[in-house]
Amino acid sequence: MKRTSAALVPPISLDRRGTCPIYRQLYDWFRSAITEGRMRPGQRVPSTRSMAAELQISRISVFNAYEQLHSEGYLETFAGSGTSVARTIPDDALGFLPTHKRKGLQGAIAKPGRRKVSARASILLKLPSEPWLRNLGPFRVSLPALDQFPVEIWSKLVVRHSRKLSRASMAYGDVMGYLPFREAVAEYLSTFRGVRCDASQILITTGSQQALQISAQVLLDPKDQVVMEEPGYPGARVAFTAAGAELIPVPADSEGIVVPEINRRGRHARVAYVTPSHQYPLGMTMSAARRMSLLQWAAHSDAWIIEDDYDSEYRFASRPIASLQGLDVHGRVIYVGTFSKVLFPALRLGYMVVPKDLLPAFSAARDAADIFSSTLFQAALTDFIADGHFARHIRRMRMLYMDRREALVCAIQSQMGRNLEVIGDEAGMHLVALLPPGMSDVSVSKHAAQNGISAMPLSSCYLKAPKRGGLILGYGGVDPRQIQDGIRKLKISVHRHAVV
Amino acid sequence: MKRTSAALVPPISLDRRGTCPIYRQLYDWFRSAITEGRMRPGQRVPSTRSMAAELQISRISVFNAYEQLHSEGYLETFAGSGTSVARTIPDDALGFLPTHKRKGLQGAIAKPGRRKVSARASILLKLPSEPWLRNLGPFRVSLPALDQFPVEIWSKLVVRHSRKLSRASMAYGDVMGYLPFREAVAEYLSTFRGVRCDASQILITTGSQQALQISAQVLLDPKDQVVMEEPGYPGARVAFTAAGAELIPVPADSEGIVVPEINRRGRHARVAYVTPSHQYPLGMTMSAARRMSLLQWAAHSDAWIIEDDYDSEYRFASRPIASLQGLDVHGRVIYVGTFSKVLFPALRLGYMVVPKDLLPAFSAARDAADIFSSTLFQAALTDFIADGHFARHIRRMRMLYMDRREALVCAIQSQMGRNLEVIGDEAGMHLVALLPPGMSDVSVSKHAAQNGISAMPLSSCYLKAPKRGGLILGYGGVDPRQIQDGIRKLKISVHRHAVV
């Protein structure tokens, strides 16, 4: 009798018709009451019998709720003294006191809204972002012709591998990637890109961004210098910034990055990031002389070259340019490629070719980052390559993109020849159209986005202020009709910003 | 005539029967000759006519080869003086000189084999790794019952989404994840894990490892301190080490991490990494009192808690323990979970719940790391959850793992009760069996691996030397027969190491 009176049954309202079981509602009520300070450490709780009677519920429900509260340490039982709120619950647990008791202590708690994150995260947050470009409208950069992808063939392969999911293909896979896939990639790169490698050097990634992130992780310590082409690829800038590196812009001219400038501005750089086959974004090819000087610089400076060969499959006026990596006899080049542009981005498959002595470090960094890439798509893509679909798709897309580029250049010249100047080689999936001097490419880009156009401002590729603005126009994912229509819309935005 | 004599046709051997086109062989020969210094800058090349005549090949082939060499900058043509090796090729290009000329310069080039990588990569390479555990044999930790996964149902969903690949599902997806999937995850976590969140706070990752890597990136600068449970999860250690953080081991007892020790050893720590539902690897549950003290510590110290809820779905003796995150009123907890253990690892899908004010930083870090997760599996899993297969599978696995745990405990007790002491709650997919004092768990583990057993040494979870060795035995992926057989094999390894 005494026990029951010592622990009056609290006013618990139960929802008897809801989907939440009674014992759970009881558990929840006690947990909140304890953590919010409505029940104090040491305070008695009613017996299961009295609780059940008072609340008109089954004693089993009460028992189950108490059991759970016990096992989580909210309640404790001492022989002879019944069950009470655990005394180990800290009495002054901040945030668990009733609000009126917390007041005086609030000052000690850091204010939300301006809480400290890491220095590198703070810098990342300050990088320019173009949220208005997130639409999939005309001229979206890096978007291939998704409607031309052989979805039927691909899905057949996915289905085939999905139905016979083996233990090995469901479990943890190889950090470096699925071996047959790495062999296929090595063969492709040796034959078509002039890369010197074997399958042991291939590290499969979830795309080129991860390849850059891992490279930054392995090659760079915070404050280390990285040479970037100016203008250059914003994704690389993000990856190196995230690693805490210092970026050194070195101009790129018609022959690619100006190597003598590296010696002047970035003498102590640990890494140079370049796009020799098709400079991003301007579109020229790095000359043989520059390639050799760059390799020489790296060998002399104990530095590394990251070669990003993001869309080299597509050259229209000449044959594909062989990779810089293939010229390197000192193992100074980390070669990076992706299937996002030749197939589709949501595949999340890319690759890198790593100098052999660096393989343990790259493998460890991939393991630390996210362990391995999904096996299913690697297996399906191995078949896709082996069956010849890959080569066939590239050939078809090369013709298609050549036509689309021509259509875009024509549309620009006929509709806005006075205002846009096209630059870059006949290659890839995008071109750069320079705006008249003095016109803000960010303003034009923002305005165009209101009409559903995704035209990336050239200035977002510069670390320093550019001399002249421009628009990076992707033509991979737009058909001729969309090109005509898109340029008409773009014209409105450019004219609006024209100096009167 | 003079031109032809000035440029003798070099001794080029062509493979006329091979698959490589003639022009390509010619191009390759010239490129090698130039880059290896056999042809010097300014040196004349034969005319297309004389080359074709001499080599008995078509003039078109020669023309195509020259065209390509031109476009890549290896050759140049001046009106009136014919074609020659480009003078811009640096004469002293190191590595491009014939070997005998290079000798004196070799010293200037860093020796391969001990080339410098970043400090954090060097530390990563020094972490203990257990290459002998890479087999999928009995007791492999973290491996679910793959043969029990409803492959038919799953592959039907994959097929459904694979066949109707939309433009949106092939293009770049949302950095935070596929929205319907995030909504499903938020609902699951709120209902079943007591997590306070909405879909906007869910960040889909490629698994819990990536969640840890991104958290480290956002919350930690190099040299920042992280509190780790001792013993603790090696994957977390790798992620924080890769970020350059300093790890502070704080002992875990039967109630979980000893919070007063945090104040003593890790007062300035920025982050505490904990596994409250089921301590990894020892298997106990963090008590309510410790939970509140830990939250209090974080709020007072302006620090963060990373709650890794890796296998909380599986509790056998009591109901699942609600998350620590749900108790936190200060937004100090980053909650991490994964589908690798409830479904299968090669899915590469995990998630984190991020305090709202940190969302921009976490989103930026994910973007920098690898942009987004493959859409197809997110869409298929959304259906898998909505159709009730997910809850059904968890329920089935809970029963299965409970039986398997019991079978394992029985087998240990009956076969090696004197040598192995089982610890930990009745939960999860693994248990820890302590070895007799003085026995090296690494030696036992290595020996057992020779018999196809994957028994992880407990010592690999310690930052400091452990008092007593043990084996972490996963029972998720082994049936009762394999358990019996595995323990028999393990017995041999343990007996071999027994102190005589």
ipTM value, please give it.
Answer: 0.86
**DSSP SS3 for B272:** strand
pLDDT for the residue B367: 96
Task: Give mean pLDDT, residues A404-431.
Answer: 94
Contacts of B112 in chain A (CB under 8 A): 330-331, 355, 357
pLDDT for the residue B9: 72
CA gap A181, A190 in Å, rounded: 14
Interface residue of B148, B192, B348 to substitute, partner A, most A CBs within 10 Å: B348
Min Cα separation B238/chain A (Å): 6
Q: For residue A2, how many other CB atoms are within 10 A of its CB?
A: 7
Nearest CA in chain A to B255: A73
A168 vs A383 pLDDT, higher one: A383
CA gap B121, B248 in Å, rounded: 20
Task: Give mean pLDDT, residues A380-395.
Answer: 94
The answer to whether residues B139 and B488 touch, using CB atoms and an 8 Å cutoff, is: no
**Position A95 pLDDT exceeds 50:** no
**Which DSSP string do the residues of B196-246 spell out, in sequence order?**
---GGGEEEESSHHHHHHHHHHHH--TT-EEEEEES--HHHHHHHHHTTPE
- The answer, for A71 touching chain B at a CB cutoff of 8 Å, is yes
Q: Which residues of chain B have pLDDT under 70?
A: 1-8, 90-114, 499-500
Name the band, by pLDDT with cuts 50, 70 and 90, for residue A19: confident
Q: Mark A123-141 as b/e (b = at least 16 C-beta within 10 Å).
A: ebeeeebbeebeeebbbbb
In degrees, to the nearest 5, what angle opens at C-alpha A150 toward C-alphas A145 and A151? 100
Which region holds residue B168: left if phi is over 0, alpha if psi is between -120 and 50, else beta?
alpha
Q: Which of A251, A279, A254 is nearest to A266 (CA)?
A: A251
Contacts of B131 in chain A (CB under 8 A): none
Kindly determine whether residue B288 and residue A120, on different chains, have CB atoms separated by under 8 Å.
no
Contacts of B167 in chain A (CB under 8 A): 136, 146-147
- The answer, for B118 touching chain A at a CB cutoff of 8 Å, is yes
Kindly determine whether residue B374 and residue A125, on different chains, have CB atoms separated by under 8 Å.
no
- The answer, for B346 touching chain A at a CB cutoff of 8 Å, is yes
The answer to whether residues A329 and B95 touch, using CB atoms and an 8 Å cutoff, is: yes
Contacts of B93 in chain A (CB under 8 A): 292-293, 295-296
The interface residues of chain A toward chain B in range 34-53, judged by CB-CB distance below 8 A, are 34-35
- The answer, for B239 touching chain A at a CB cutoff of 8 Å, is yes
Tokens of B473: 């035995």
The overall average pLDDT reported for chain A is: 89
Kindly determine whether residue B162 and residue A143, on different chains, have CB atoms separated by under 8 Å.
no
- Of A1-5, A268-272, B170-174, B333-337, the one with minimum mean pLDDT is A1-5
Assess whether the previous peptide bond of B360 is cis (omega < 30° from 0). Answer: no
pTM: 0.87
Task: Give mean pLDDT, residues A301-321.
Answer: 89
pLDDT for the residue B44: 84
pLDDT for the residue A6: 45
Tokens of A453: 């156009």
- Of A266-280, A352-366, B154-168, the one with minimum mean pLDDT is B154-168
Task: Give mean pLDDT, residues A340-366.
Answer: 96
Nearest CA in chain B to A19: B191
pLDDT for the residue B49: 87
Name the band, by pLDDT with cuts 50, 70 and 90, for residue A31: confident
Kindly determine whether residue A118 and residue B218, on different chains, have CB atoms separated by under 8 Å.
yes
**Position A105 pLDDT exceeds 60:** no
Q: For residue A114, how many other CB atoms are within 10 A of its CB?
A: 7
The answer to whether residues A141 and A474 touch, using CB atoms and an 8 Å cutoff, is: yes
**pLDDT tens for residues A431-450?**
999 999 999 999 999 999 99
The interface residues of chain B toward chain A in range 311-330, judged by CB-CB distance below 8 A, are 317-319, 321-322, 327-330
Contacts of A151 in chain B (CB under 8 A): 163, 165
Min Cα separation B79/chain A (Å): 21
The answer to whether residues A477 and A440 touch, using CB atoms and an 8 Å cutoff, is: no
The interface residues of chain A toward chain B in range 388-417, judged by CB-CB distance below 8 A, are none
The answer to whether residues B313 and B277 touch, using CB atoms and an 8 Å cutoff, is: no
- The answer, for A149 touching chain B at a CB cutoff of 8 Å, is yes
- The answer, for A13 touching chain B at a CB cutoff of 8 Å, is no
